[in-house]
Amino acid sequence: MPRIRLTLAYTGTHYHGWQLQRSGPTVQGVLENALQRLAGQPVRVHGAGRTDAGVHALGQVAHFDIPDHRGHLPWQRALNALLPDDICVRQAETVPPDFHARFSATAKEYTYTLWTEANFLLPQRRPWTWAVGPLDLAALDAAATYLLGTHDFASFQNTGTPITDTCRTLMLLTREPGPTPWEITLRFRANGFLKQMVRNLVGLLVAISQGRLTPTVIPDILAARNRAAAPATVPPQGLCLERVFYDRLD
Q: Which residues partner with 108 through β-bridges?
A: 190, 244
DSSP-derived secondary structure letter, 121: -
Residue pair 241/52 in contact (Cβ under 8 Å)? The answer is no
Residue pair 112/202 in contact (Cβ under 8 Å)? The answer is yes
Task: Rounding to the nearest 10 degrees, give the CA dihedral for residues 207, 142, 109, 90.
Answer: 80
Provide the residue count of the chain.
250
State the catalytic residue, choosing from 52, 85, 165, 220.
52
Sequence-distant (6+) residues with CB within 8 A of 209 are 132, 135, 136, 137, 139, 140, 143
Amino acid at 86: D
Amino acid at 125: R
Question: Does the annotation count 65 as an active-site position?
Answer: no
Question: DSSP string covering 188-228, please?
Answer: EEES---TTHHHHHHHHHHHHHTTSS-GGGHHHHHHHT-GG
Sequence-distant (6+) residues with CB within 8 A of 158 are 194, 195, 196, 200, 227, 233
Amino acid at 246: Y
Residues recognised as catalytic? 52
